[in-house]
Structure 1
Amino acid sequence: MTADRYLATGPRVGIRHFTPDDCAEFTARARESAALHHPWLQPPADDDTYAGYTAKLREPLREGFLFCERDGGGIAGYLTINNIVHGAFRCGAIGYGGFAHTAGRGLMGEGLRLVLRYAFDVLGLHRLEANIQPGNERSLALVSRAGFRLEGFSPDFLFIDGAWRDHERWAITSEMLPEDETP
């Protein structure tokens, strides 16, 4: 992956949009990471599901980003911004996942900070929300380290893994991200 294809870079991570060419690597990483993701999320693990997922990311009120290791360009994780509202609200809801082969190396945190800066500076958003199941300790730690604040609790919020799941609502605004924030 050449650096010019990245939307933003940090010391170890570059962020870029999904492409059709990423299907084989992304779905293989999703299958390898199934135990890490269960029961929190189910990223696309086959060609058809990936095609449908990336088609949705081309809708006007969504953005999708891959977190790629700058050393080799392999996909370390991903983040989507959904339900983007412009105008006075300028908000979106994020969903994300890391892959098992890079777990525990801080690449998700670096990628998240790059996307936050991109969302606030380039996309013109003011606020991003993350809804996280209370038992998902790794995800809660990720947003907490990135500067999100806990704003509330939503019972029976999303239907995941066969049941309605409670979620904590975390958010960050552009003012909460330091100007000199670097990944």
Structure 2
Amino acid sequence: MSRFWPVELRSGRVGLRPLSLRDARAWKEVRARNAAWLAPWEATVPPGDTTAPRTFRGLVRDLRRQAREGRALPFAVTVDDTFAGQLTVTNIVGGSARFAQLGYWVDQRYAGRGVMPTAVAMATDYCLFEMGLHRMEVAIRPENRASLRVVEKLGFTEIGYAPRYLHIDGEWRDHRLFAITVEECPGGLLRRWRTDGDHGRQ
């Protein structure tokens, strides 16, 4: 899988490119400005865990290592080439499973403007049609209406409910689970979103 990274993707004003150490200033500024908005949905480190990166530099290095091993695709989300958020494909599995999980966050100033659905559609298409994966999964807190709207707009199917699934905002939180397979988006998810969605509000 490592041969599929690095890669850059673009649709209109929205771009995906490898997250870089050069993004440090923009990443920190966006997250500081959006701290209250992101906090309820932010992954946190469980008590006693010493393995998770504690700095942006450590995060990028860890994600780069996973990308080299073919286990992750760490993207910066851009709008008009300006840093706007992060989208990371993780837990990439080959063999008879051929699936991956996808997580994302975006600067609040771009929320509701079609940026994240476009980014998720691009990443999903790349994983399904270029990397040859079969299934993409997304886990979302039931209270996270903005994130739920992304998967609803793109036609992901709800497949289950996972109690205490991820450590978020200091506690183990329940999540709704969504997925889409290559058979469910013939011709590509981005093309369907561009045709049927409110993609114009990017």
Number of aligned residues = 174
2:105 paired with 1:97? yes
- Residue of 53, 71, 93 corresponding to 2:59: 53
Query: Which amino acid is the alignment partner of residue 19 of structure 1?
Result: S
Q: Higher RCO, 1 or 2 (CA under 8 Å, sep at least 6)?
A: 2
Equivalent-residue separation in structure 1 for 2:91 and 2:27 (angstroms): 23
Match of 2:72 among 48, 59, 62: 62
Residue by residue over 1:139-179, the C-alpha shift from the partner in whole angstroms, topping out at 9 and shown as x without a partner, is 11101111210000011111222211111111111222240
Equivalent pair of 1:80/1:94 in contact (CA under 8 Å): yes
- Normalising by structure 2, we get a TM-score of 0.80
What amino acid is aligned across from residue 26 of structure 1 in structure 2?
W
Q: What's the offset of the Cα at 1:42?
A: 5.2
Work out which of the residue numbers 159, 184, 202 in structure 2 matches 1:176.
184
Alpha-carbon separation, structure 1, partners of 2:111 and 2:167 = 26
Q: State how far apart, in whole Å, the 1-side matches of 2:11 and 2:27 are.
A: 21
Q: Which amino acid aligns with 1:157?
A: Y
Q: Shift of residue 122 of structure 1? A: 2.2
Q: Does 1:131 align with 2:139?
A: yes
CA distance in 2, matches of 1:173, 1:163: 31
Amino acid at match of 2:97: F
What SS does structure 1 have at the residue aligned with 2:103?
strand
Distance of 2:176 and 2:17 partners within structure 1: 28
CA contact (8 A) 2:43 2:167 kept: no
Superposition RMSD on alpha carbons, in Å?
2.0
Higher-helix-fraction structure:
2
Residue 179 of structure 2: SS of its match in structure 1?
Answer: strand
Give a deviation string over 1:26-85, Cα, whole Å, max 9, x none: 111111111221211159xxxx6111111121212111111211x3x1012221111111
Written as runs of structure 1 = structure 2, the 5 A alignment for 1:153-168 is 153-168=161-176
Aligned to 2:86: 78
